[in-house]
Structure 1
Amino acid sequence: MEKKITPRLITAILSAGMLSFLGILDETATTVTFPILIKEFRITTDQVQWVNTLVLLVIATIVPISSQISLRFSTKRIFIAGMLFFLFGLIIDVFTPRFDLLLVGRAFQGIGTGIGLPLMYNIILARVPKDHLGFMMGIGTMITAAAVALGPVFGGIVTDLLNWRWIFIVSIFLAAIGICTGGWSITQINKLQRVRFKYKQWLAIAVSLVLLMLGFTNVANHHFLSYQVLGFLGLGIVCLILWLKISWNDQAALISPRLFKNSSFSIQLLCYCFAKISTLALGFIFPIYVQTVNHGSVSLAGWIMLPGAIVDALMAALAGKLLDKKGACLPIMMGVIASLAGTVMMSFFGTHLSNFAIIFLYALYYGGYGMCFSSLMTSGLTSLPASEHSQGNAIYNTLQQFSGAIGTALAGTLMAISQSNRQLELQQTTAIGARWTFYVLTLLIIFNLILTLLFVSPNKIKH
């Protein structure tokens, strides 16, 4: 069947994207409500972080089985199941009188997001003609990337005008629309097969990801040699080795580790992870910087992130066009250089960033991120045979969540270490912790630039 872009296909992509958009939107929107949740539920800062950490953990364990789910169940059934899980979680979140039930609701949202997150990209890869693939992948990335930066604005406005529960009420309304449009537009993208579920492989990789993420998120609050950090990290590595041993010789592995033998795929995946680490770290730092160092309001902290979201969306679409015409290297190089320029200036002015400087530098960084992020994913996936796109997509989406957790943990750890200096005021230690974070992110992006120069092909992607 000839591939072509139709209104129904665009609706299907947007409907599938709605699920991942809402998952990310709610995650970033709830961040600005943490002080309110602490007071309302009488919990600590360490406890309230689980509102988002738990979602990342659940998504990280669900996404690896997405390739097998897509073979066993129809595309439309997968979409509806993801939406129903997500809706059920939203309903719990709206009515919960207790914090532990809020976490249950967020876990169900994580299941829905984990099911739906790879679906949009699978539809794009299966249905979009290759000469438009870069542009549509850019649109897909734009949908999820916009949610990251729009979330704080959305959460701040809704919480100020109404209350935090309305974040989830609005999401219920949008999810209902998504179910209706997706039910009409989404069609089957692959032939169904009676595959045997790989329980051992899934458990090994799921437990490994959970333990590694727990170890990284505990770095801010525990000594590195403690069982909460080194213990979890060590056990996570053991489980990862076990997954490699179980999966390596399996020709029909849940996620084949042999994909990592493809150097083009692996290097671009690594660059993709570094970009995500940097972005989530900055998304964590700047709202705190605006409120603590510059004494801005919660709503202002959210609004300051908005220009970056707009530039990111525009650059993601432009990057797709450039990739289709010139190949992946040009948009990736342009994006990495722009992001590097942003973090270098952040490092230089780190302790004296005005709100206007944050708007400009975050937009500069985020515009570069928009240029390179979707291009790294498109180029990395197209370096694999078409039969391995689904597994490659699952790897990208799994490590995207994992990298986000690392980025948040990195920024939180550096900030906590700096703020532990009681001889200086909180405003000063927060600015110093932010500058330390900018230094580390600059090093990561320099590494990305070197890898891009060495390993990303300057040639146009073959159609």
Structure 2
Amino acid sequence: MQSHLQVKSPKWMAAVLMFGSFIGLFGETALNMALTDIMTDFKIGPGTGQWLTTGYLLVLAILVPLSAYLVRWFTTRQLIVGALVISLIGGVLAAVSPSFTVLLVGRLIQAIGTGIFLPLMFSVILMIFPVEKRGPVMGIVGLVLTAGPALGPTLAGLIISSSSWHYIFWIMIGLYIVLLLIGAPKMENVSTITKPKIDVISLLLSTIGFGGFVYALATLAERSFSDPIVWIPLVVGIAALVLFVLRQFSMTEPMINLQVFKYPMFALGTALMVATLFMILSVAILIPLYLKSVLAYTSVAAGLLMLPANILNIIMSPIVGSNFDKVGARVFTRIGYTLITIGSILMLVILSSTTPVWQVVGTLCIFFVGVSMTIMPSQTNAMNQLPPQLYADGSAAMNTLTQVAGAAGTAVAITMFTAGQNSYTEKHGFGQPLDMLAYGVQHAFIVVLIVAVLGLIGSFFIKNSRPSH
């Protein structure tokens, strides 16, 4: 049996899907660099401002489970054109937004487009490339996954310093139009259209479950845990998720086939992906905040300071991908998580209001080299253990959880940042605002370190899995 589908131009299809996903993932973190400007323009606090990222990720988390349905209802080309058109509408709304509400709505519409694109990229690429070519290709996919969110702040910093944050969206709009005109016409259909019955109850349960969970985490930045607006959505969200899981196991055609988690390396690889995405998005919101508000760098300088770590990640990702078959996931993830843990410890030790910036840049480099060794090996090793008929389900399950992890990472980072500031002012008063901000960022890194250590422990249980034909 053949391990892949024959299409006329697999590289072209992969390029279009990766570029579309890159634009969407760039959008995930691009506004982190503009957050201070947007907060000033619309007179809002960081707790409200973070909804631009958290809300975006939340829509992705709600939408990605649907992807397993969408690929069975619509052709690949219909989905790509639909995703690009939706992203365009959201981008235009955000670019011209007269108020924070319109900006947020535009962002959420954009997220719908990205939510269609991302899972499509995974399942299509796994279908159109033979097993022996998967390592290098998934290396590039891993690069898209990390470079999009990681380069967001750098590129956004350059855009903001030469014009205004509105141009972040105008540039994205231009790129979407190019993809729509050049990329979409050459797309071939690779999915089997079976038009399965959509289970509305599963859809509602997953929306309430993921939505309630992330909403509660994000609201913690402004309110205490005892506040009903925090714990009620959390309890309802967890209850809905439990019901969702039970329902999936009892259905003949589940919305997400959770049987994929019966494959141990898939379950562990997904857990490691979740941990890495949580940390990437925490760092992507904390470091720009620290460089701009504590060390007083401009947007462009802060963006450029994050560039060396991103360049290392860009260099390392294809190297890891092309050596994956020789080295295996076990070695890569252990080294990767060791570096991430060292980076997290260093951040906790060095961050203050007077830290020399080279120390921050150096630590980020250690952290992101670690990231480049964990994402692609965890993901490919996980997917390799699944039989081909479960790729779409595995992709939907993995993507859903990584997007929830990203939303949780952003929400927890801001919540811990706020909690750190509050505990600092209780002890020392408001006399030293820079020390207070630095303490807030440092405090948020405690969670990053805990997740890094859990990932490191998990990496010691990885076994290299061989792809099933």
TM-score, with length taken from structure 1? 0.94
Q: Show the counterpart of 2:234.
A: 233
Note the 1:332-351 alignment, pairs <5 A.
Answer: 332-351=333-352
Aligned residues: CA RMSD: 2.0
- Residues 345-404 of structure 1 deviation map (CA, whole Å, 9 limit, x = unaligned): 223323364211111111111111011111111111222221111111111111111111
Q: Which amino acid aligns with 1:212?
A: F
How far the C-alpha of 1:309 sits from its partner, in A, is: 1.3
Distance 2:446 2:55 in 1: 28
Distance 2:70 2:371 in 1: 31
2:382 to 366, 372, 380: 380
Comparing 431-440 and 357-366, the one that deviates more: 431-440
Comparing 167-176 and 77-86, the one that deviates more: 167-176
With over 3 angstroms needed to count, the CA separation of the structure-2 counterparts of 1:7 and 1:177, relative to structure 1, is farther
How far the C-alpha of 1:7 sits from its partner, in A, is: 8.8
Q: Does structure 2 retain, via aligned residues, the 8 Å contact 1:326–1:460?
A: no
1:432 to 439, 449, 458: 439
How far the C-alpha of 1:5 sits from its partner, in A, is: 9.7
How far the C-alpha of 1:410 sits from its partner, in A, is: 2.1
How far the C-alpha of 1:4 sits from its partner, in A, is: 8.8
How far the C-alpha of 1:237 sits from its partner, in A, is: 0.8
How far the C-alpha of 1:461 sits from its partner, in A, is: 5.0
Q: Show the counterpart of 1:204.
A: 205
Q: Does structure 1 retain, via aligned residues, the 8 Å contact 2:80–2:117?
A: yes
Q: Show the counterpart of 1:10.
A: 11
Distance 1:409 1:115 in 2: 23
Distance 1:459 1:109 in 2: 36
Q: Which amino acid aligns with 2:129?
A: V
Note the 1:157-176 alignment, pairs <5 A.
Answer: 157-176=158-177
Distance 1:437 1:5 in 2: 48
How far the C-alpha of 1:321 sits from its partner, in A, is: 1.6
With over 3 angstroms needed to count, the CA separation of the structure-2 counterparts of 1:184 and 1:331, relative to structure 1, is farther
Comparing 1-10 and 282-291, the one that deviates more: 1-10
Distance 1:252 1:134 in 2: 31
Note the 1:52-131 alignment, pairs <5 A.
Answer: 52-131=53-132
Q: Show the counterpart of 2:270.
A: 269
How far the C-alpha of 1:78 sits from its partner, in A, is: 0.4
Q: Does structure 1 retain, via aligned residues, the 8 Å contact 2:83–2:112?
A: yes
How far the C-alpha of 1:53 sits from its partner, in A, is: 2.2
Distance 1:165 1:192 in 2: 39
How far the C-alpha of 1:235 sits from its partner, in A, is: 0.3
How far the C-alpha of 1:156 sits from its partner, in A, is: 1.6
- Residues 416-454 of structure 1 deviation map (CA, whole Å, 9 limit, x = unaligned): 122123225222223223333333322322221221112
Note the 1:22-41 alignment, pairs <5 A.
Answer: 22-41=23-42
Note the 1:405-424 alignment, pairs <5 A.
Answer: 405-420=407-422, 421-422=424-425, 423=428
Comparing 177-186 and 65-74, the one that deviates more: 177-186
Comparing 85-94 and 315-324, the one that deviates more: 315-324
Q: Does structure 1 retain, via aligned residues, the 8 Å contact 2:90–2:106?
A: yes
How far the C-alpha of 1:137 sits from its partner, in A, is: 1.0
Give percent identity, aligned residues only: 25
Q: Does structure 2 retain, via aligned residues, the 8 Å contact 1:315–1:368?
A: no
Q: Show the counterpart of 1:190.
A: 191
Q: Does structure 2 retain, via aligned residues, the 8 Å contact 1:294–1:354?
A: no
TM-score, with length taken from structure 2? 0.93
Q: Show the counterpart of 1:298.
A: 299
Q: Which amino acid aligns with 2:381?
A: S
Q: Does 1:358 align with 2:360?
A: yes
Distance 1:72 1:460 in 2: 31
Distance 2:15 2:39 in 1: 35
How far the C-alpha of 1:199 sits from its partner, in A, is: 1.3
Unmatched 5+ stretches in structure 2? none
Distance 1:121 1:82 in 2: 15
Q: Show the counterpart of 2:458.
A: 451
With over 3 angstroms needed to count, the CA separation of the structure-2 counterparts of 1:4 and 1:327, relative to structure 1, is farther
Q: Does structure 2 retain, via aligned residues, the 8 Å contact 1:326–1:459?
A: no
With over 3 angstroms needed to count, the CA separation of the structure-2 counterparts of 1:403 and 1:232, relative to structure 1, is same
Q: SS where residue 250 of structure 2 aligns?
A: coil
How far the C-alpha of 1:14 sits from its partner, in A, is: 1.8
Q: SS where residue 361 of structure 1 aligns?
A: helix
Q: Which amino acid aligns with 1:210?
A: G
How far the C-alpha of 1:20 sits from its partner, in A, is: 1.9
How far the C-alpha of 1:458 sits from its partner, in A, is: 4.1
Distance 2:337 2:294 in 1: 28
Q: Does structure 2 retain, via aligned residues, the 8 Å contact 1:85–1:108?
A: yes
Q: SS where residue 289 of structure 2 aligns?
A: helix
Distance 1:142 1:262 in 2: 25
Q: SS where residue 125 of structure 1 aligns?
A: helix
Q: Does 1:371 align with 2:373?
A: yes
Q: Which amino acid aligns with 2:296?
A: H
Unmatched 5+ stretches in structure 1? none
Q: Does structure 1 retain, via aligned residues, the 8 Å contact 2:385–2:466?
A: no
Distance 2:11 2:451 in 1: 35
How far the C-alpha of 1:136 sits from its partner, in A, is: 0.7
Q: SS where residue 306 of structure 2 aligns?
A: helix
Matched residue count: 462
Distance 2:364 2:458 in 1: 23
How far the C-alpha of 1:246 sits from its partner, in A, is: 1.8
Q: SS where residue 33 of structure 1 aligns?
A: helix
How far the C-alpha of 1:3 sits from its partner, in A, is: 4.8
- Residues 83-136 of structure 1 deviation map (CA, whole Å, 9 limit, x = unaligned): 000001111122232322222211210110111111111121001111121211
